[in-house]
Amino acid sequence: MRKKDRELTAPADLLAIMQAADRAVLAFNGDPAPYLLPVNPGVEWTGDRFILYLHGATEGTKYRYLVDGAPVSFEMDAHHALVADRDRGYCTMYYASVIGQGIAYELLDAEAKARALQVIIDSYHIDEGFAYNPAALPRTRVFKIEVRAITGKAKGPKV
């Protein structure tokens, strides 16, 4: 990373960015070009690794790339603010972001799928106690991405 003063390494800092982001963009090796997939993930820190959870309908183009054991890259960002100094003719953007790589695994067990969906719901701070309709489980595919590498970066106001 070129600007080491912007690098974030503490899991708590990385998790805070991931929780503040309302989407992630996944990237897969595609043909004829990389395939990008915006998703609304749930995220958790297990004590030694980050896990992203995502869900979707049972069919779609994404499943050509999102298969069990697929390598995936991802990006998440939050806290955007444009800063403009008209007198100096200067502008910049404040932000916080993470970029990572991991391996995708499909969750087939109903209990694992249900838990992952609850993590996703909790990630979006829906009213406590919100219960999704379990009838959705058979018509929903759920994946977890075990994060293998992650970097974080932020630029913001000096404290």
User: What domains, with CATH codes, occur in the chain?
Assistant: 4-155 (2.30.110.10)
- Tell whether the model's pLDDT for residue 126 goes beyond 80: no
What three-state secondary structure class fits 126? coil
Contact yes or no for 65/28 (Cβ under 8 A): yes
Q: What are the tens digits of pLDDT across the range 34-92?
A: 999 999 999 999 999 999 999 999 999 999 999 999 999 999 999 999 999 888 989 98
Mean pLDDT for the stretch of residues 144-150: 98
Residue 96: burial class (beta carbons within 10 Å; 0-12, 13-18, 19+)? buried
Nearest to 70 by CA among 47, 23, 41, 102: 102
Q: Give the model's pLDDT for residue 158.
A: 57
Burial 98-128 (b: 16+ CB within 10 A, else e): bbbebebbbbeeeeebeebbebbeebeeeee
Give the model's pLDDT for residue 159: 42
Mean pLDDT estimate for the chain:
90
Tokens 């106690």: give the residue. 129
Asked if pLDDT for residue 10 goes beyond 90, the answer is yes
Q: Residue 84 CA to chain centroid, in angstroms?
A: 29
Confidence of residue 131 (pLDDT cuts 50, 70, 90): confident
Q: What is the mean pLDDT of residues 95-109?
A: 96
Kindly tell me if the per-residue pLDDT of 125 is higher than 70: no
Q: Where are the beta strands (DSSP E) in the chain?
A: 7-8, 24-28, 35-39, 42-45, 50-56, 71-85, 90-107, 141-155
